[in-house]
Amino acid sequence: MGTDTEVSGHTVTPISVAAFKQVYATSDVESALGELSDGANESLRNTYERMIRAGGLRFSVKPSALPEMDALYDDLPNFSEPLGDIRKQLALCVETEDRLELAPMLLLGDPGIGKTHFAKCLSKLLGTGFGFVAMSSLTAGWVLSGASSQWKNAKPGKVFDILVHGDYANPVIVVDEIDKAGGDSQYDPLGALYSLLEHETAREFIDEFAEVPIDAADVVWIATANSAQYIPEPILNRLNVYEIAAPDYAGICHIAQAIYADIRSAHVWGLRFPETLEPEALERLTRLSPREMRRVIVNAFGNARIHRRDEIKAEDVEAERSPKRARIGF
């Protein structure tokens, strides 16, 4: 296949081609299961049994041809630099047997400018799975890499869960707010990333709960942060760093319209409404961040219908209701 083609006036995106990759060896799991004592952690035993039933093969996917990305550049105008690097890698690997190799990336920018939305769009572009890890709530390294089965209420980590219980060997995994990872001197929340972000060591990643080698080498890693100040230098050195600015006025208008169109097309009731927003309603939305827009637009649709209208007016676009936070101090 070549590049995108036109069929009946519509752009046809190349389908994803899938090969199977062994994420873990069932023989390793069978050996680990056979070595369990009678009093072993029952959750661990159940995990091994599920792994054996599911088998170790997962889809490893990539587009069959270089996809048309102009719409992504329009919808994500402030992400042109990472999109450009992704496009180069796709140009190298499509139409060949080579695997997709995307270097781990760090997106630096203010909250709500669309970093997680970018990651989801990339997942759709590649035709693969999506996983999300919120680092701001983590206080121990085992949330990524699992906790030893000897601990009470222990369970596998996020990486194990996404690869073993998902369908893909190369999902996009977002490590959100990596600069806000908590922890103490005994447990490093980012400890697992030192090996996971290196291709060679990621091929035999050991989750501390399951203690069976997992091949995480094809995971597409996207970390997000507001600032690089609190990210350890060895982690930064493993990431391609992109500083994402807030979109300009034209860009924020396009983002608002794209979010409106996405919500409209995802619901039957959306067909009542026109394809584009009226200028006054769009103007109100430009005062919001992309994160806030989706919630406000959904409410605006509801406001319009309550007033028996099939078009969103400016008065339907209500400001976000932010909770008041108690002041800290004396």
What are the tokens at 269?
């009731």
Whether 24 contacts 214, CB under 8 Å? yes
Sketch the domain layout of the chain as residue ranges.
5-243, 249-316
What are the tokens at 126?
């590649």
pLDDT, tens only, 200-233: 999 999 999 999 999 999 999 999 999 999 899 9
Phi-psi region of 324 (alpha: psi -120 to 50; beta: other; left: phi over 0): beta
Name the amino acid, one letter, at 98: D
CATH of domain 5-243: 3.40.50.300
pLDDT of residue 190: 86
pLDDT of residue 322: 52
pLDDT of residue 182: 63
pLDDT of residue 191: 86
pLDDT of residue 315: 96
pTM over cut 0.85: no
* pLDDT tens over the chain, length 330 residues: 333 433 333 334 556 777 899 999 999 999 999 999 988 889 999 999 999 999 999 999 988 888 889 988 988 989 999 999 999 999 988 878 888 889 999 999 988 888 988 999 999 999 999 999 988 765 556 788 888 888 878 889 999 999 999 999 999 999 999 998 865 546 677 889 999 999 999 999 999 999 999 999 999 999 999 999 989 999 999 999 999 998 889 888 988 998 999 899 999 999 999 999 999 999 999 999 888 899 999 999 999 999 999 999 999 999 765 544 443 332
Kindly report the three-state secondary structure assignment for every residue of the chain. Answer: CCCCEEECCEEECCCEEEEEEECCCHHHHHHHHHCCCCCCCHHHHHHHHHHHHHCCEEEEEEECCCCCCHHHHHHCHHHHHHHHHHHHHHHHHCCCCCCCCCCCEEEECCCCCCHHHHHHHHHHHHCCCEEEEEHHHCCCCHHHHCCCCCCCCCCCCHHHHHHHHCCECCCEEEEECHHHCCCCCCCCCCCCHHHHCCHHHHCCEECCCCCCEECCCCCEEEEEECCCCCCCHHHHCCCEEEECCCCCHHHHHHHHHHHHHHHHHCCHHHHHCCCCCCHHHHHHHCCCCHHHHHHHHHHHHHHHHHCCCCCCCHHHCCCCCCCCCCCCCC
pLDDT of residue 231: 92
Report the alpha-carbon distance of residue 278 to residue 316 in Å, rounded.
11
